[in-house]
Amino acid sequence: MARRGRACVVVLGDLGRSPRMQYHALSLARQMSFQVDIVAYGGSVPHEALLKHPSIKIHTMVQPKFLQILPRIFYPITLLLKAIIQFTMLLWYLCVKIPAPDVFLVQNPPSVPTLVSVKWASSLRRAAFVVDWHNFGYTLLALSLGRNNLLVSLYRWFEKRYGKMATGSLCVTKAMQHELDQNWGVRARVLYDQPPEFFRVASLEEKHSLFCRLKKDLCHPVGVHDIISGELEKQNPHETLFTAKIDDSIFLKPNRPALVVSSTSWTPDENFSILLEAAVMYDRRVAARLKGNDDSVEISEEQQHIYPKLLFVITGKGAEKEKYEEKMRRLNLKHVAFRTMWLAAEDYPLLLGSADLGVCLHTSSSGLDLPMKVVDMFGCGLPVCSVSYSCIHELVKDGKNGLLFSSSSELADQLLMLLKGFPERCDALMALKEGAMETGSSGRWASEWEDNAKPLFAEVVSQITD
């Protein structure tokens, strides 16, 4: 069979919230000169580089909305109906709507019905079938149903059976590679997430422009009037919370708050209560250290700047967002403020490149995957405080490019230690920033993909074209 020079990337989810699959599509087009069809759901806007590439075409499926309004009691029936509808829709797109490819690349999870649909389509169209293992689908389902649920066991059986049928496999960690090899009979190559070239430290001009664009988002607090609202009310048009412009000169304000960024899908495997509790502890400990036990003691200007005000900006969309926003509204904080927002794909790297510290609360349902958000932060030279779990050490080197914590109290201690003397005299934070810069510059997506994914795609394509 002659080579077609085509690939199909399958994402049974919001493509704009699947950065790794967007990077795969760009690499297949750029580094293998393939024509790439992407079959995915709509929602968030993908990165501009994807939308503008002449060799990439996005085919947007429509979500079956009526299933979202069924009562919780019908959850098992809803799952079955959803799987049947998605299976039929995927087969239609993969076997009829798009030209026949040399290779299908599918994101897992979700596993059902994705793996089944892509396996059938690859057989019918005589194409290779590659699975990119981000996590295990059955462990995500177990978060809501419990590990011993019959549906979870059935899901795992499908995931394992059809995962083994793939022509080739990629995965995100060595720990997952070992699990797939030993217990699933799947030989996978590790393709670590690496930041693409647009994740980098932002320039002063880019920071000022970004914060000017975000002024409206920062003006609207999650809760009542807070410290950030008060600061914004005093500003002139050429000033932001963090920067100021005089004539043609832009500079960082010496009394600016520390900007701490966290991104999330607002799912059960990220417990944001830890961050809220740590924020409360930071707020109380700073107040206590500034005033001591005697509220009548006047605080000097120098003492007020020992510990900075904190602005937590939390980006992302997800089911639990409103629940945590309601918790934020109930907090009565004097030194800390929260903002939640969703950024354009082009602005998110700029926010990371402008921040002072990142926080990651991802724990992984399987304990075998790594948070891509931390990879992006390192690409921008941003040090990270991350929840500790089994394989996070493959990414976060404790004390070098970030710190690991296991409780809200530990996180509060780390915030106090790292931000003391901010912005000029915070040596511990600067040391971690150097480590994050080193990690971020040690590898980029294009080179990682060239070394580990391209040989696999070349191999599986040659198998079906010989």
Rounded to whole angstroms, the Cα distance separating 382 from 167 reads 38
In this model, does residue 299 exceed pLDDT 80? no
The confidence score (pLDDT) of residue 68 equals 61
322: amino acid identity, one letter:
E
What is the percentage of the chain residues whose pLDDT exceeds 70? 92
* Same domain for 451 and 327: no
Residue 224 CB neighbours (<10 A): 10
37-41, 195-199, 379-383, 457-461: the lowest-pLDDT one? 195-199
**Bridge partners for 259 per DSSP:** 311
Let me know if residue 199 belongs to a domain. Answer: no
Among residues 202, 258, 204, 212, which one has the least CA distance to residue 239? Answer: 212
In the predicted model, is pLDDT for residue 292 greater than 60? no
Contacts of 258 (CB under 8 A, 6+ apart): 308, 309, 310, 311, 356, 357, 419, 422, 423
pLDDT digits (tens, 9 = 90+) for 45-98: 999 999 999 999 999 998 776 556 656 666 667 777 888 889 999 999 999 999
Strand partners, 404: 386
Return the structure tokens found at 388.
């500790």
152 with 268, same domain: the answer is: no
Longest dimension (CA), the chain: 85
Q: Looking at residue 464, what is its pLDDT?
A: 83
Which pTM does this prediction carry?
0.88
Alpha helices (H) in 269-382, listed in sequence order: 273-291, 301-304, 321-329, 347-354, 372-379
Query: Greater confidence, 302 or 151?
Result: 151
pLDDT digits (tens, 9 = 90+) for 200-254: 999 999 999 999 999 888 876 555 567 777 777 677 778 999 999 988 899 999 9
397 closest CA partner among 448, 438, 352, 357: 438
Q: pLDDT digits over 127-164, tens only?
A: 999 999 999 999 998 988 889 999 899 999 999 999 99
- Rounded Cα–Cα distance for residues 286 and 306 (Å): 9
d(CA 461, CA 362): 35
Three-class DSSP labels, 36-92: EEEEEECCCCCCHHHHHCCCEEEEEECCCHHHHHCCHHHHHHHHHHHHHHHHHHHHH
Give dist(CA 64, CA 172) in Å, integer.
30
**4: which 2 tokens?**
């077609």
Cα–Cα distances in angstroms (integers) from residue 388 to residues 360, 377, 436, in the given order? 10, 17, 17
pLDDT, position 298: 45
Task: Report helix, strand and coil shares of the chain as percent, to nearest 5.
Answer: 45, 20, 35
Tell me: do 314 and 187 sit in the same domain.
no
In a domain, 240, yes or no: no
Q: Are residues 188 and 309 in the same domain?
A: no
Percentage with pLDDT > 90 across the chain: 70
pLDDT digits (tens, 9 = 90+) for 22-48: 999 999 999 999 999 999 998 889 999
* 451 and 327 share one domain: no
Categorize the per-residue pLDDT at 305 as very low, low, confident or very high, splitting at 50, 70 and 90.
Answer: low
In this predicted structure, the answer to whether residue 296 has a pLDDT above a threshold of 70 is: no
Residue 293 binned pLDDT confidence (cut-offs 50, 70, 90):
very low
Burial group, residue 350, by CB count within 10 angstroms (0-12, 13-18, 19+):
buried
What's the whole-number mean pLDDT along residues 302-319? 82
Q: How many Å apart are CA 397 and CA 120, to the nearest integer?
A: 42
- Do the domain assignments include residue 201? no
Question: Within this chain, do residues 39 and 168 fall inside the same structural domain, yes or no?
Answer: yes
Residue 242 lies in a domain: no
CATH for 339: 3.40.50.2000
In a domain, 241, yes or no: no
In a domain, 222, yes or no: no
User: 189 or 295, which is more confident?
Assistant: 189
Average pLDDT for residues 389-416, to the nearest whole number? Answer: 96
* Residue 65: inside a domain: yes
Domain annotation covers residue 128? yes
Same domain, 376 and 454: no
Q: Are 183 and 39 members of one domain?
A: yes
Number of domains observed in the structure of the chain: 2
Report CA torsion sign: 107, 112, 117, 119: positive
Cα-based angle 346, 376, 118 (whole degrees, multiple of 5) = 85
| Whether 160 and 262 share a structural domain | no
Q: Rounded to whole angstroms, what are the CA distances from 314 to 59, 222, 266, 339?
A: 30, 11, 10, 6
What pLDDT is recorded for position 227?
78
Nearest to 162 by CA among 132, 195, 119, 213: 119
Are 382 and 454 part of one and the same domain?
Answer: no
User: In Å, how far are 40, 121, 123 from 130, measured between CA atoms?
Assistant: 16, 12, 13
Domain that holds residue 298: 257-441
Q: Are residues 59 and 73 in the same domain?
A: yes
Q: Supply 5's token pair.
A: 């020079």
**pLDDT tens string 313-337:** 999 988 888 889 889 888 889 999 9
Distance, in Å, from the CA atom of 339 to the CA atom of 220, rounded to the nearest integer, reads 8
Q: Does the bond joining 423 to the residue before it have cis omega, within 30 degrees of 0? A: yes
Same domain, 170 and 275: no
Inter-residue contact 389 to 175 (CB < 8 Å): no
Is 366:134 a contact under the CB 8 Å cutoff? no
Mean pLDDT calculated for residue range 379-383: 97
Radius of gyration of the chain (CA): 24
- Cα torsion 76, 82, 85, 86 to 10°: value is -130
